Amino acid sequence: MEAKLWDSVKTLEALKPQFVSVTYGAGGSTREKTHAIVKKIRQETALEPAAHLTCVNATRAEIDEIAKAYWDSKIHHIVALRGDPPDMKGKYVPYPNGYQYAGDLVKGLKKIADFEISVAAYPETHPSATSAEDDLRHLKEKIDAGATRAITQFFFNADDYFRFLEKTQKLGIKIPVVPGILPISNFAQAVRFADMCGAKIPANFKNLFEGLDEKPEERNKVSIEIATDICRKLTDNGVNQLHFYTLNRSDLVQAICKNLNIQ
């Protein structure tokens, strides 16, 4: 897995992204690994790394320590998140003496140092939000606390993104709301992810991936075509930044970028 990760990093490096971010395992389970990988990216590549950090399973003091260590290692960009319950089931309960929501984490990070902070946004509304309006209001709070970029949850219908973007603009949100693109490398896994985060999967996708479980080349082709199509709809309508969820499949991202004439 580690070798595959570094292959991915090298492939991404050639695409010259603005930054690469490294996720933080559910429940804070990859704390040390995330830290080590982000540091290695800083030290051994020309890429600009960003570290995801969640509020789960840690006190404020513990999270503040992690953040200070990032700052000292010259990791100055944090993707600040609330995170999910460690078992992904049940209601989210803040950790005792922990940061409650991502907005609180953004405030805490800004007290430690002048981090560049990205936060999450949900074109199809966060699954546990009390309403789409409340969810947008909470996004605005994260921005008012100091976030300068929002990265969206993945979606498969560009119109959902554009409707959401319009709402953010009406609310006075001026920072980039960068669309998150998930190339589907495994359909069953994408359905599971979408179920968890409330993203809709278009009905025709099931047919497109039908019978391709054992045919990786054909599956990749479908995946690349779908993601290229979404990206084209976005870039044809004024979007000039894309964020890819690579899941170590930088080969798919590379092919999509080639289709889009990026590089």
Ligand X SMILES: Cc1cc2nc3c(=O)[nH]c(=O)nc-3n(C[C@H](O)[C@H](O)[C@H](O)COP(=O)(O)OP(=O)(O)OC[C@H]3O[C@@H](n4cnc5c(N)ncnc54)[C@H](O)[C@@H]3O)c2cc1C
How many chain residues interact with ligand X (CB under 6 A)?
25
Q: Residue 125's closest CA among 164, 88, 89, 68?
A: 164
User: Is residue 29 a contact residue for ligand X (CB under 6 A)?
Assistant: no
Asked whether the beta carbons of 245 and 180 are under 8 A apart, the reply is: yes
User: Is residue 228 a contact residue for ligand X (CB under 6 A)?
Assistant: no
Scan residues 107-126 and list those touching ligand X (CB under 6 A).
120, 126
User: Is residue 151 a contact residue for ligand X (CB under 6 A)?
Assistant: yes
Candidates 12, 63, 67, 81; binder of ligand X (CB under 6 A) is 81
Q: What is the Rg, in whole angstroms, of the alpha carbon atoms belonging to the chain?
A: 18
Q: Per the structure block, which two tokens stand in for 12?
A: 């991404």
User: Is residue 82 a contact residue for ligand X (CB under 6 A)?
Assistant: yes
Q: Which is nearer to ligand X, 135 or 220 (CB)?
A: 135
Q: Residue 240's closest CA among 260, 225, 256?
A: 260
Q: Per the structure block, which two tokens stand in for 177?
A: 């709301």
Other C-beta atoms closer than 10 Å to the C-beta of 135 total: 20
Candidates 77, 138, 149, 219; binder of ligand X (CB under 6 A) is 138
Q: Per the structure block, which two tokens stand in for 91?
A: 């209601």
Q: Which is nearer to ligand X, 11 or 30 (CB)?
A: 30
Q: What is the 3-state secondary structure (H, E, C) of 155-175?
A: CCCHHHHHHHHHHHHHCCCCC
User: Is residue 246 a contact residue for ligand X (CB under 6 A)?
Assistant: no
Candidates 39, 41, 54, 246; binder of ligand X (CB under 6 A) is 54
CA atoms within 13 A on the CB side of 97: 7
User: Is residue 19 a contact residue for ligand X (CB under 6 A)?
Assistant: no
* Closest approach of ligand X to the CB of residue 52, in Å: 3
Scan residues 155-194 and list those touching ligand X (CB under 6 A).
180
User: Is residue 135 a contact residue for ligand X (CB under 6 A)?
Assistant: yes
Which residues, in sequence order, are CB contacts of 179 under 8 Å at separation 6+?
A: 123, 152, 155, 161, 234, 239, 241, 242, 243
Stretch that binds ligand X, among 5-13, 22-30, 160-168, 204-212 (CB under 6 A): 22-30
Contacts to ligand X by CB under 6 A = 23-24, 26, 52, 54, 79, 81-84, 101-103, 120, 126, 128-129, 134-135, 138, 142, 151, 153, 180, 197
